[in-house]
Amino acid sequence: MKKRIISSEKRWEKGFDFSQGVEAEGVNRVVWLAGQTSYDGEKVVGSDIGAQTRLAYGYILEYLAKAGMTMSSIVYERINLTDMAMLEDALKARHGFYEDYGFPPATFTAVKALALPELLIEIEVVAVK
């Protein structure tokens, strides 16, 4: 699969670490992952946005690996936050997961609540191979 990032090169795009689009050529498979959080099956792990973000991306890596994919396979993501004031800290925690691959198109939304009251973030991705 060949992937090309589509970017406007505008400052705000770089500030939020996302691209306007991605072109994927030669795609054979598509994986849509459900929203990933820091819930470990028994409890919410991490009380701050950084910890919850890193754990959610850890689950994303785990499930992508089960499909034979990596972070470079991601062509879209949606990040749902319970408070947009946490976006900057969430993006800092997210940065290292993409720095080697380029940032995919992303949508950042604020939601009133997630499935459990302790959850601060939920991340959905679409990946191709």
Check whether 4 has a pLDDT greater than 90.
no
Check whether 126 has a pLDDT greater than 70.
yes
pLDDT at res. 111: 98
The reported pTM is 0.89
- Give the CA count within 13 Å in the CB-facing half-sphere of 84: 6
Count the domains in the chain: 1
Angle of helix 49-66 relative to helix 87-98, nearest 10 degrees, comes to 30
CATH number of the domain within which 64 lies: 3.30.1330.40
**Tens digits of residue pLDDT in 23-63:** 888 889 999 999 999 999 999 999 999 999 999 999 999 99
Residues forming beta bridges with residue 25, ordered by sequence position = 2
Residue 81: give the domain boundaries.
2-128
Q: Tell me the C-alpha distance between 5 and 20, whole Å.
A: 8
